[in-house]
Amino acid sequence: MPKRKIKSPEGALTGSIIGAILDKKGKLPVVIDFSKLKIAVCDAFIICHGTSRTQIEAIADHVMDEVKKTTGMNPWHREGFENAEWILIDYGDVVVHIFQEDRRKFYNLEQLWADAEITKIDSKE
């Protein structure tokens, strides 16, 4: 039986992810909104970076815990925990990218998807 898409209340998934990133002091969080693009594989990317492997893993674990607690959703796929340079957590409609700072600069997803709407999240630092 194929997996059913679990619908969360509007904004609950994104809000939960952003809140978890901010809780663990993720750096420079942004939301890349693909919803207005015709050839998008998901609705949004949420991107941030951390300053150490420990922080990156803590952000990823907290995102998964908070999303489960607030929406009941588990990720469809996750990867990158082996070396924690770039952890990806896929919730279907929203994909979370948690980078080490140098990897984020190298891959520069914000520039790659410059035609999408990009919202910088104020982290109050």
Q: How many domains does the chain have?
A: 1
73 — pLDDT class (breaks 50, 70, 90): very high
pLDDT in tens, 34-49: 988 888 889 999 999 9
- The answer as to whether 35 is a domain residue is yes
State residue 124's pLDDT score.
66
State residue 37's pLDDT score.
85
| 43: containing domain | 13-114
Closest CA to 56 of 82, 78, 87, 79: 87
Q: Which amino acid is at 58?
A: A
User: Percentage of the chain surpassing pLDDT 70?
Assistant: 90
- The answer as to whether 64 is a domain residue is yes
- The answer as to whether 104 is a domain residue is yes
- The answer as to whether 120 is a domain residue is no
- The answer as to whether 123 is a domain residue is no
CATH of the domain at 49: 3.30.460.10
Mean of the per-residue pLDDT values of the chain: 89
